[in-house]
Structures are given as structure tokens and as C-alpha cells.
């Protein structure tokens, strides 16, 4: 945080004045209040997010400002800020104001608000995306450093794509929702908009954490938000969905997939379950959240929103159970997918509609925008949406990297690689977080390396890739069927492998999965000693010596010669 708080605040206010978008804010703090907060931060102790300028979606409470959810008749004055906002403020952030949204966070287009439509920074003729329209535009326009949105069906990802910025959709329950107006409470989450993956991750580290008063809050595994490096054998599945996209979006998607040694997979069941978010019991969940309004004061609701939410009142319980059972099956399929791959790549959206298209059809384009986003929260996945270049028309296109719950730290490396490869004006790659006090470095030499069959044992225990490494030239490597055995020897060579950080508490659990004659011991690497895989020397006598290949991955690439 090298820029001082007052400088950040003045830049935000000047940029806001220059952009002059009357539909961006619902409530903006006075300039004097913003500058006073910045001055106090500058005079105070150093804080993790000191002076970071933040916009907050107006379905998230900020004490002293009304919460309206873009419905003036619903407005209330919260006495306390949402827990996520409290944590941001305690970390030194400077909240600028509350942003516009699709009313009650119902929509992916950004046009369903009585306060107007925030301008898409690339084309006044196109939608900004929603429901977190104002928050995304505030970051895309360069007004604030980061912004809070919410995400139920893609509201933290679609507007990020349309604004050429990053949208981080955290694991459900990782960020407390206390102080957030619910949409579908069981699958809602507060989300983060930023200009880089690492800026978004830094904010999530601050706002995440178990909060008992939130019944959907979940205890997180230790270290899941620590940044990994991009593993050389990372396994990325590319959904076979390019044909569902407009040409420019399909081209950007292909370019992102080509960055990895990826495989194409079918995700038909995920696309089918996605339809249930607006044609199943979760519509009734939206109705439940707004029952008092939709039954008692329907006239205060935007007509399109009212039609959607009112439809949930007639849903049948028996149909809900059919949907729950179908979802359980698809979640199992998601588990199977991520047992084979580190991440799933999808387009963030199939296209970006124009305002004219929405005026002609208020429902159809919105439904299509959720094609690749609606299933994500239902399936309990984490997601990071990143820019993937521009189309021939000058409009941005984007892709989203998906992983299982609690995989954000590992996904960050993949998402950031895409952003830096295909995006514009992107900061240099961030280094992985250093080894933490509760982690142990482990040197892997065989099937536990990235992209190989047993790597899931490492990642499943919270492991994250740190770097490639080599031993000192003091070891011999042997082939033991589907895995190698390494032992120290007088006439040895340097052996290549990978260093992974594992929670120290998980080392025993991993060792329990390692069969004899393999085990762990201290390995002499070129940059110092490290715990690593070793074999009992007496068991290697009859095994093929593959030391000349320099490592297990090279031996596999050579076709595993006899």
C-alpha cells in the first residue's frame, strides 16, 4: 500500500467527478467525510488496507448510510455496518459510498433499478452487467481501488467481465453475510471487484472468517487463501461450450484454454441444474426473503423484479425436493470432476447485450447471461472471473476459473496467469505467499507432483505449489512401478521435483497414504534442506535406475523406457 490515504482519496474523488455517472451511486459520502477519513488513516498506525478506496453495493449495510437494495420504499438506516464492512474499515479501508444495483440483487444486466443504469465504461450502448452494476463500474472506471458486490447467480462475475476487471466469488459461507440483504440466502455471498487477482484476494483475506451469528457461516480450512504459484503440471478442464457464445467471446475463451495443457470436458449436467436457479425452488427462496414486501407492498418493487419474485409464491414443495435431489447428484459429478482437474474454465458470459436488446426483451438476454454462472453457487464452487482480451468491436470478453470450495488460493495462480497473458496493463505476477508458521515444505518427486495421479492427495490436504526445485547431485532415482524411489548415493545426480507447502498438521495424514518402501526424510536441495520423499535403499536394488533422466516427469515424457 505505497500510495498514501489522502492521495488515494483525492484521486478517487477527482475521478468520480470526471466520470460523472449519475446512476453509479445511490448514496455517496460527502467529499469532506472521505478526506477526513483519509487524513485520520494517514496520521494513524499502519494497517493492511490503509487508505484503500472502496465502494459498497447498496444491499450491504454501512452504518450512517441508508440501505435501499435499489428500492426506495424498502430503505432502512442500519445502526451497524455489515461484518464484512466492519472488517474492511478495521483494516484501514476508506468507504466512498453505496452503489447502484439490479433491485434486490435480482438480475445480471444492471438495468433493473429506479436509479438508472450505470454506464458501461466501454460502450454507452451496452449493459454494465448486474446485479452489482455500480460496484463493478466504480472499479472499471478507475474511481475506487476495490468494491464489494454480492453473488447469487453471477452478480459478482458478469459485471466484472463487462468492465474488464476481476471478480472474485468466494466460497459460500466464507464471508459473513450478516448485514447483507438476502436474495437466495442459502447460496448468496459477498464478492469482491478489483483490477487484479491479488488485489481481490487481499480483500477477501480481510473480510473472510467464521461468524457464529450467521447461520450459513462455515469454518474454513487453514491457509486456503494463501497464494500458490502456477504449478507446471496444472490440470485445467475446458468446458465444451464455445459454441454457445458469440464469436468474440468464443475466441477469447479458446485463447484462455490454449494457455494450458487442457482437456475438453462436457458440463451438460451443470448447465441443466443452472436453469433451476430461476425456474425452481430458489425462486421461492427469493420470494421468502422479500415476502413481506411482495405480499404487502408490491407497488414499491420494479415491475420486472416483482414479476420474478412473485412467481416464487406459487412453487410446490414436492418440486423443490426433486430439485434438491437433482442438485445432490450434480454436486457429486462436480466432486468427480475436481478429483481429476485442478480447475474448470468457462466463459464468464456468452455475450454482452445492448440496452436496446433489454428494452425489447427484459427477461431473455438476462437468462442467457447466467448460462455459465448460475450453477456455480448451487454446486458450492469458488470462482475468479478475469479479463481475456477484447473483441473486434472493442468490447471486453472474460473467462472464469472454477474450483471446489476453499480453493481460492490455488485458483488465484491460474486466474492471474490468464489475466496477465490475455489482459492489458496488468501488474507483474505476484510471488506465492511464503511458507507460513503452520506449514511444512515438502519436496515431491513423483506421482504427487502437479498434474500427476496422486497430486490430489496433496491438494486435498490443503497443499499449495511453491516452486520447482532440484536436489544436490547426491541421489539416485529408481522406477517402482507407478512411482519413483529416491535414495542418497555416493555416485549420485541432481533430481528434479516440486516444493509444496502443506499444513504441518496434514503431513502425517499424507504419510499414512504413502506405501513402503517410501517415506519422508530430509532431502538436500540446491537451496537448502527440505522434507521430501525418500525410499529405503535396500528396496531399490532390483528396480530400474532412471537417474539419467533427471526426474520422474522427464522419464514419463520419454515414454517410461525399460
The predicted pLDDT at position 298 comes to: 85
Within the chain, how many helices (H) and strands (E) appear? 19, 18
- Concerning whether 450 is annotated as a catalytic residue, the answer is no
- Concerning whether 2 is annotated as a catalytic residue, the answer is no
Instruction: Report how far residue 164's alpha carbon sits from residue 129's, in angstroms, rounded to the nearest whole number.
Output: 11
The predicted pLDDT at position 15 comes to: 98
Instruction: Give the mean pLDDT of 402-409.
Output: 97
H or E element in which residue 264 lies: strand 263-265
- Which candidate in 133, 135, 155, 262 is catalytic? 155
Is residue 410 predicted with pLDDT exceeding 70?
yes
pLDDT digits (tens, 9 = 90+) for 16-56: 999 999 999 999 999 999 999 999 999 999 999 999 999 99
Instruction: Give the mean pLDDT of 83-96.
Output: 98
Instruction: Report how far residue 440's alpha carbon sits from residue 230's, in angstroms, rounded to the nearest whole number.
Output: 19
- Which candidate in 81, 113, 131, 135 is catalytic? 131
- The domain 5-422 having CATH identifier 3.90.1300.10: the answer here is yes
For 107, 281, 283, 312, 458, the CA distances from 186, given in Å and listed in that order, are 17, 11, 12, 16, 30
For 275, what's the count of Cα atoms within 13 Å in the CB-facing half-sphere? 6
Residues pairing with 13 in the sheet: none
Q: Where are the domains of the chain?
A: 5-422, 439-557
Q: How confident is the model at residue 562 (pLDDT cuts 50, 70, 90)?
A: low
Assign domain 439-557 to its CATH architecture.
Roll (3.10)
Cα dihedral 108, 112, 115, 120 in deg (nearest 10): 40
pLDDT digits (tens, 9 = 90+) for 272-303: 999 888 877 888 888 888 888 888 898 888 88
CB 453 within 8 A of CB 481: no
- Concerning whether 314 is annotated as a catalytic residue, the answer is no
Is residue 173 predicted with pLDDT exceeding 80?
yes
pLDDT digits (tens, 9 = 90+) for 434-463: 999 999 999 999 999 999 999 999 999 999
The verdict on whether omega for the bond into residue 378 sits within 30 degrees of 0, i.e. cis, is: no
**Percent of the chain surpassing pLDDT 90:** 87
Where would I find the H helices in 44-132? 83-90
* 539: helix, strand or coil: helix
Instruction: Give the mean pLDDT of 180-201.
Output: 96
The predicted pLDDT at position 40 comes to: 98
The predicted pLDDT at position 280 comes to: 78
pLDDT digits (tens, 9 = 90+) for 131-161: 999 999 999 999 999 999 999 999 999 999 9
pLDDT digits (tens, 9 = 90+) for 468-518: 999 999 999 999 988 999 999 989 999 999 999 999 999 999 999 999 999
Q: Label residue 38 left, alpha or beta by phi (over 0 means left) and psi (-120 to 50 means alpha).
A: alpha
**Percent of the chain surpassing pLDDT 70:** 99
Instruction: Give the mean pLDDT of 360-380.
Output: 96
Is residue 1 predicted with pLDDT exceeding 80?
no
Instruction: Give the mean pLDDT of 93-119.
Output: 97
Q: To the nearest whole number, what is the mean pLDDT of the chain?
A: 95
The predicted pLDDT at position 312 comes to: 79
CB 125 within 8 A of CB 355: yes
The residue whose grid cell reads 527440505 is 530
pLDDT digits (tens, 9 = 90+) for 233-253: 999 999 999 999 999 999 999
pLDDT digits (tens, 9 = 90+) for 347-366: 999 999 999 999 999 999 99
Instruction: Report how far residue 562's alpha carbon sits from residue 560's, in angstroms, rounded to the nearest whole number.
Output: 7
Amino acid at each position: 500500500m505505497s500510495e498514501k490515504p489522502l492521495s488515494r482519496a483525492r484521486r478517487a474523488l477527482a475521478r468520480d467527478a470526471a466520470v460523472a455517472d449519475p446512476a453509479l451511486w445511490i448514496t455517496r459520502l460527502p467529499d469532506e467525510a472521505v478526506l477526513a477519513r483519509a487524513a485520520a488513516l494517514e496520521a494513524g498506525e499502519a494497517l493492511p488496507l490503509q487508505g484503500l478506496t472502496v465502494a459498497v453495493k447498496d444491499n450491504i449495510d454501512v452504518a450512517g448510510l441508508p440501505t435501499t437494495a435499489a428500492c426506495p420504499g424498502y430503505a432502512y438506516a442500519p445502526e451497524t455496518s455489515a461484518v464484512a464492512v466492519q472488517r474492511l474499515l478495521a483494516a484501514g479501508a476508506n468507504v466512498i459510498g453505496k452503489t447502484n444495483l439490479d433491485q434486490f440483487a435480482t438480475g445480471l444486466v444492471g438495468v433493473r433499478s429506479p436509479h438508472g443504469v450505470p454506464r458501461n465504461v466501454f460502450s454507452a450502448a451496452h449493459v454494465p452487467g448486474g446485479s452489482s452494476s455500480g460496484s463493478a463500474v466504480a472499479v472499471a472506471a478507475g474511481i475506487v481501488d476495490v468494491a464489494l458486490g454480492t453473488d447469487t447467480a453471477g452478480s459478482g462475475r458478469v459485471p466484472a467481465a463487462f468492465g474488464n476487471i476481476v471478480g472474485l466469488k468466494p466460497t459460500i459461507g466464507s464471508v459473513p453475510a450478516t448485514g447483507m440483504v438476502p436474495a437466495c440466502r442459502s447460496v448468496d455471498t459477498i464478492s469482491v471487484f478489483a483490477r487484479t487477482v491479488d488485489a481481490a484476494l487481499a480483500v477477501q483475506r480481510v473480510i473472510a472468517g467464521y461468524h457464529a451469528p450467521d447461520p450459513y457461516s462455515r469454518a474454513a480450512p487453514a491457509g486456503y487463501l494463501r497464494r500458490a504459484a502456477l504449478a507446471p503440471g496444472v490440470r485445467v478442464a475446458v468446458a465444451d461450450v464455445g459454441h454457445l457464445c458469440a464469436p468474440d467471446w468464443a475466441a477469447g475463451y479458446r485463447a484462455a484454454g490454449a494457455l494450458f495443457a487442457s482437456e475438453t470436458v462436457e458440463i451438460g449436467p451443470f448447465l441443466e441444474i443452472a436453469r433451476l436457479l430461476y425456474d425452481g425452488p430458489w425462486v421461492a427462496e427469493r420470494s421468502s426473503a422479500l415476502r413481506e414486501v411482495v405480499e404487502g407492498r408490491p407497488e414499491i418493487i420494479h415491475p420486472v423484479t416483482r414479476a420474478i419474485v412473485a412467481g416464487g409464491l406459487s412453487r410446490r414443495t414436492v418440486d423443490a425436493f426433486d430439485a434438491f435431489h437433482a442438485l445432490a447428484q450434480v454436486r457429486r459429478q462436480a466432486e468427480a470432476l475436481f478429483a481429476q482437474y485442478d480447475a474448470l474454465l468457462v466463459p464468464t458470459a456468452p455475450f454482452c447485450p445492448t440496452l436496446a436488446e433489454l428494452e425489447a426483451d427484459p427477461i431473455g438476454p438476462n437468462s442467457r447471461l447466467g448460462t455459465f454462472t448460475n450453477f456455480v453457487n448451487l454446486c458450492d464452487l469458488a470462482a475468479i472471473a478475469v479479463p481475456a482480451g477484447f473483441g473486434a468491436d472493442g468490447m471486453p470478453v472474460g473467462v472464469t476459473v472454477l474450483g471446489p470450495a476453499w480453493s481460492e488460493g490455488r485458483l488465484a495462480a491460474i486466474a492471474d496467469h490468464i489475466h496477465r497473458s490475455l489482459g492489458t496493463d496488468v501488474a507483474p505476477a505476484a510471488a506465492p505467499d511464503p511458507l507460513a508458521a503452520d506449514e511444512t515444505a515438502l519436496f515431491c518427486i513423483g506421482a504427487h507432483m502437479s498434474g500427476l495421479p496422486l497430486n490430489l492427495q496433496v491438494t486435498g490436504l490443503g497443499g499449495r505449489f511453491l516452486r520447482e526445485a532440484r536436489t544436490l547431485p547426491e541421489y539416485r532415482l529408481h522406477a517402482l512401478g507407478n512411482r519413483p524411489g529416491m535414495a542418497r548415493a555416493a555416485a549420485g545426480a541432481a533430481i528434479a521435483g516440486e516444493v509444496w507447502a502443506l499444513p504441518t498438521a496434514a503431513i502425517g495424514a499424507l504419510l499414512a497414504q504413502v506405501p513402503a518402501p517410501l517415506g519422508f526424510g530430509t532431502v538436500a536441495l540446491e537451496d537448502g534442506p527440505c522434507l521430501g520423499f525418500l525410499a529405503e535403499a535396500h528396496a531399490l536394488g532390483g528396480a530400474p535406475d532412471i537417474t539419467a533422466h533427471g526426474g520422474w516427469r522427464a522419464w514419463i515424457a520419454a515414454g517410461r523406457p525399460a
